[in-house]
Chains A and B, each alone.
Chain A
Amino acid sequence: MTTDTPTARPGGVDPDAAAVASVTVPSAHGSCPFDPPPAYREAHQAGPITRIALWDGAPCWLLTGYRHSRAVLADNRFSADARLPGFPFITPGRRELVARTTPTFLRLDDPEHARQRRMLTGDFIIKRVEALRPQIQQIVDEAFDRMIAKGGPADLVQEFALPVPSLVICLLLGVPYEDHEFFQEHSRILLDISAETERVEASQRALTDYLGELADRKLREPDDGVLSRLVARGELSRAEAASMGLLLLIAGHETTANMTALGTLALLSNPAQLERLRAQPELMKGAVEELLRYLTIVHLGIPRVALEDVELDGTVIRAGEGVLCMVSTANRDSEQFEDGDALDVTRDARRHLAFGFGIHQCLGQPLARAELQIALATLLRRLPNLRLAVPFDQVERRTESVVHGLRALPVDW
């Protein structure tokens, strides 16, 4: 756990300065589509706190264990404000992006973070999401009807995993779904860490303009969507409203889409777990938590910068140094999850960090849970003979994205 440190000497000799590990972030993925990149796992074998240098030479700490990631994410001595010196960026493009974007609560500290986030907390309460379940079920059923009518084989990503959360978030925000090709394509580029900076900027501009115009329209013609209610409060600038709308739109469809596709592949690759879940559908809620833990699709880590010197189990993280909380390896940490590399749908995985931890923990998690539970339960029920339509090792992965997942998932039934 973190403690205040009387031993930290600002300006003193840093005993760890020489011990910079050769791990790079981002690191290449291994052969298993469910596992975090092997380099992070190897680093963890050597120790849960690794000092690395980022692409720009900036010192950064890689936290690969459960305990440290959880502690840092809950500690307000670590900031999420990307405008502060020392904040770790994993590519030049990510840094450029921040410089050009109006920050949302995701990249702000309290009190401004709380002010913005609390404009939305009422929209994502458990009760409201529970009330949405019949509509989510209908969206899921209709996606299946269309896919089954077309006949197999089909790409589960394009036919099901991507449209379902896109339709749900559009419904909730009040974004017209007919624009889905536009926002899905630009979202994909925005999250692509291998895309050229100019392309990322162009996509960012296109999406921000789109959300800004949509916000203007909601002011003139209010509806009962989240975006309309947000602008009606009159507490946000146009740029802030556009940024927040964009955050919700991207977070709302990219994450759930990739969890749905990757979760399906994980179950297909673990037939015993899949059979267990078919036989006992009441296990689904717990199974979704376990899939969230096991797959933890944010492989690049959650970035923070230390606001003051903080001691972490004897290691001093200096003010102004970056930290990457590697929640993907944390969620496999055997100290917290016994046999953590195994998928076990009967495990109590609720303490996972797949939604992050601390005040920035995912706002839309009740929605994500409801969508995943309904989508996967319906998938197992309606397609009892679901199977891969290509060999396992030919399933195309999205290794270049901030959100890990699958490019396509060819299936038959």
Chain B
Amino acid sequence: MRSWLGYGELVALRNRFTHRTEVPTMQVTVDQDRCCGSGQCVLTVPAVFDQGEEDGLVRLLQVRPGPELDADVRLAAALCPGGAITAHGEGG
């Protein structure tokens, strides 16, 4: 069943009650078709990216890593030689 509140609204609601200021709104997507298995992402942020044991292609471990990983995820996207990683939204 779909929540009547979107993720962003839920985060905003939680933040209103907990007075949190940081908002993990950055979302990561990967495109395996563009992946060339260089491993740069795994080397840069192993908490967010992995490689398939057989095909060596990118696997996403977290779609919305916390804001503390924003800079690393952006670096991983910049280092990805195939342009297979996209970091969407605010947060860094």
Contacts and interface: CB of A to CB of B under 8 A. Distances in A.
Nearest to A74: B83
- Residue among A73, A117, A125, A350 having the largest count of chain B Cβ atoms under 10 Å: A125
Contacts, number: 71
Contact of A125 (B36, B44, B51): B51
Interface string A112-124: 0010011011111
A351 B81 CA distance: 10
B54 A117 contact: no
Given A118-B55, A351-B78, A125 B83 contact: no
A118 B82 contact: no
A355 B79 CA distance: 11
Given A74-B81, A126-B42, A121 B53 contact: no
- Residue among B38, B42, B75, B79 having the largest count of chain A Cβ atoms under 10 Å: B38
A365 B38 contact: yes
Contacts of A357: 81
A123 B39 contact: no
A120 B57 CA distance: 11
B56 interface: yes
Contact of A122 (B34, B36, B52, B75): B52
Interface residues of A, number: 27
A94 to B, nearest CB: 24
Contacts of A359: 34, 36, 81-82
A124 B56 contact: yes
A357 B46 CA distance: 21
A361 interface: yes
A123 B56 contact: yes
A208 B51 CA distance: 32
B-side interface mostly: loop
B55 A122 contact: yes
Contacts of B37: 117-118, 121-122, 124-125, 363
A7 to B, nearest CB: 26
Contacts of A122: 37, 52-56
A150 interface: no
B13 interface: no
Given A121-B57, A123-B56, A350 B51 contact: no
Interface in A363-382: 363, 365-366, 369
A362 interface: yes
B87 to A, nearest CB: 16
A336 to B, nearest CB: 12
A127 interface: yes
Contacts of A350: 44, 75, 79
B36 A121 contact: yes
A26 interface: no
A358 interface: yes
B43 interface: yes
Nearest to A359: B36
- Across chains A and B, which 8 residue pairs bring their CB atoms closest together, nearest first? A121-B56, A121-B37, A361-B81, A122-B56, A125-B51, A126-B42, A126-B39, A125-B56
Given A351-B78, A361-B36, 19 more contacts: A117-B36, A118-B37, A118-B55, A118-B56, A118-B57, A120-B56, A124-B56, A125-B37, A125-B53, A126-B39, A126-B43, A126-B46, A127-B42, A350-B44, A359-B34, A359-B82, A361-B38, A365-B38, A366-B39
26 contacts: A73-B81, A74-B83, A117-B36, A118-B57, A121-B36, A122-B37, A122-B52, A122-B53, A125-B51, A125-B52, A126-B42, A127-B53, A350-B44, A350-B79, A351-B78, A356-B81, A358-B81, A360-B36, A360-B81, A361-B36, A361-B81, A361-B82, A362-B38, A365-B38, A366-B39, A366-B43
